[in-house]
Chains A and B, each alone.
Chain A
């Protein structure tokens, strides 16, 4: 059976959920061979094996942390040369998309980014994507070379599928470009204890209607009652009420959770571009004419300062 390379996104050996989703998709088109790089790479093997990796190729070197992107491209290319896979899958993070792009040029392949589904097809894997602010759904494939595909979080279920997961050291010789961009310093983002925005099953977002940084705790309290991530509209971010890393929309992050709750967000096209593929959409807004209500499964026309705390209390009570 054809092998499929899966690029592992992990933090010091802790595998992030989108990688486990990739293993589910990889099994539809072949046998997953995982590639884990950097500090803690070998520690990823057990969980990858539980989710279907027949092999885990690992490499660690200071270059992976000290220089931007290219060392990882060199390593993935080494894995590609060692395995001759039928496809290469990566998560749709900013860094992984850049790795995918450079690998695609090197191996003479086409690239598809931000797939929301992947299936086997007569002419190779077929990827489903959303286009034009999710107003269209397209089916695409790579027509030259080996498909290099990045997949959005929440595009497939995480399914246990025990496999051998044999760990093998991957030999990497770094290219002349590898040390071109130096990471002079790295400041880890302070953990909020909440799920990562793009990976979360539930996202609670606040917009212009939140009316000030001092009111965002109302949104955070609802998020915490649901175990959700917090998002913000561009209006809220530009006003300085919430960090840019939490911005949902065309110029921010694209999210596709099971449940999206928009509070005080009118729903401009730029915001819709970032959340329209959410499975269930709920909105709370004072303005009954707000375009967000065109998208919702359930909408409440009302003041978020009344509705959101009441919802939070009710959710907490039901969970208690």
Chain B
């Protein structure tokens, strides 16, 4: 039987661009380029490796986001994913993590899955909670923050490197997995992959298709509210000295003045 893998990916603003807030205190997407979150590339890579090791597997890449988010799906398809699902609806604007997990969970259930894989966090919000939220909503084991992952005989195994210990984990499928940037370098799409991606199916779903009321998502339905966002004041110019042989001593003097020594 085919192993159905769904990879959740996010279209994020380029961190090297000038990211700022719009008037409604959501991300201003006008002035900054978007791309597939780098941390999700690791999830796509592990999904493809697990699929390659299975007798029969299908990799579906899933995103929730505006029209431009198709770019993130195309990137994943060009890496080798088989098909894509794009949840797009004007009412989704401003949806928070809890709301996003609701939409993703419904889309995953509709698509059908044995294994859900995501990155450890997005590179914009960096909360790192969506995999756990998905496991809770789907009612399946979470096997998260893995630096190594494998699937064999309906069991997912992996290594989780925590602050105080390294753990070997295992769970039966279906399950939700998240992988870290230590799980293995993501492949670059080949020219052939990029050409093939243009012909791969991208299914579009809206809130009606998923049976979600508009008031459960979006800015209005959000479980959290941002009251203000202020640009961090520019740091006052620090003291910069050139080392002429006494730079370490001068630095020690500064640290002593600040009571660090």
Contact = CB atoms under 8 A, between A and B. Distances in A.
Interface of A: 11, 68-70, 73, 93-95, 97-102, 104-106, 109-114, 126, 130-145, 177, 180-189, 196-198, 202, 226, 244-245, 250-251, 254, 258-259, 269-270, 273, 280-282, 284, 288, 293-303, 306-315, 318-319
B128 A113 contact: yes
B248 A188 contact: no
Interface in B91-140: 96-98, 101, 120, 123-124, 126-133, 135-137, 139-140
27 contacts: A94-B128, A102-B132, A104-B98, A105-B101, A109-B223, A130-B232, A132-B15, A132-B124, A136-B229, A138-B229, A140-B224, A141-B225, A141-B227, A177-B136, A181-B171, A187-B166, A189-B163, A226-B261, A244-B161, A251-B181, A280-B260, A297-B238, A298-B251, A298-B254, A301-B247, A307-B248, A315-B255
A319 B185 CA distance: 44
Contact of B251 (A95, A282, A295): A282
Contacts of B139: 177
A182 B170 contact: yes
A291 B128 CA distance: 28
A100 B129 contact: yes
Given A131-B229, A307-B247, A315 B129 contact: no
B129 A311 contact: no
B226 interface: yes
B181 A181 contact: no
Contacts of B165: 186-189
Contacts of A202: 260
A183 B160 CA distance: 10
Contact of A189 (B19, B164, B224): B164
For chain B, give the interface size range: 35 or more
Q: In terms of DSSP, what is the predominant structure of the interface of chain B?
A: mixed
Interface of B: 15-16, 19-21, 25, 38-39, 96-98, 101, 120, 123-124, 126-133, 135-137, 139-145, 147, 157, 160-172, 175, 180-182, 222-232, 235, 238-243, 245-252, 254-256, 258, 260-261
A196 B252 CA distance: 24
Contacts of B19: 132-133, 135
